Amino acid sequence: MLCPRCKVSLAPSTDGPVELHRCPVCEGTLVSQRRLIPLVEQSAELLASQVDLAQPVPSVPDRAGTAACPKCGDPMVTFGYMGMASVMLDRCASDWLVWIDSDELITMAVLSARTTQRIEERQKFWDAEKAKWPAGTPRPG
Ligand SMILES: [Zn+2]
Ligand SMILES: [Zn+2]
């Protein structure tokens, strides 16, 4: 299969438990749609220790033109990751394949890591609030 951007052969690769194909030139990633979320979550875990999540994430401009599916050659359809317009991915509906440009994966990972961080902070805050509750009174949650 060829990279829809550079037309060079995609190399099969394993990112942890997620099997994918990656372009050695542009570092774009081809992954089956059901592997998309595990891939993002895994990248988020890696990124969380490496980057400052508080920094603003630039929205990723989608590349001009539609990419062709590396497997069947049909034009892929653009869709927003998690319904967001900030990251537009390309997907082949017949092969259930998703093409991710390299900066798109980083942006998705940062967004996902932030969500996890927010949930943990909220839980910590709530635990602290519950600890302040007077003994003998019914506690919430
Ligand atoms: Zn490429
Ligand atoms: Zn296809």
Question: Residue 11's pLDDT is what?
Answer: 95
Is residue 88 pLDDT above 80, yes or no? yes
What is the side-by-side order of every strand in the sheet holding 11-15? Answer: 11-15, 18-22, 29-32, 97-100, 88-92, 77-80
Residue 140: inside a domain, yes or no? no
Q: How far away, in angstroms, is 1 Cα from ligand 1 center? A: 11
The pLDDT tens digits for 11-62 are 998 877 788 999 999 999 999 999 999 999 888 888 777 777 777 776 666 6
Ligand nearest to the CA of 9: 1
Is residue 1 pLDDT above 90, yes or no? yes
Angle (deg, nearest 10), helices 102-132 and 36-48: 70
Q: Is pTM beyond 0.95 here? A: no
Q: Quick one: which H or E segment has residue 30?
A: strand 29-32
Q: How far away, in angstroms, is 21 Cα from ligand 2 center? A: 14
Residue 114: inside a domain, yes or no? yes
Beta strands in 41-127 (DSSP E): 77-80, 88-92, 97-100
Q: How many domains does the chain have?
A: 1
Residue 53: inside a domain, yes or no? yes
Residue 141: inside a domain, yes or no? no
Q: How far away, in angstroms, is 89 Cα from ligand 2 center? A: 14
Name the residue range of residue 37's domain.
11-128
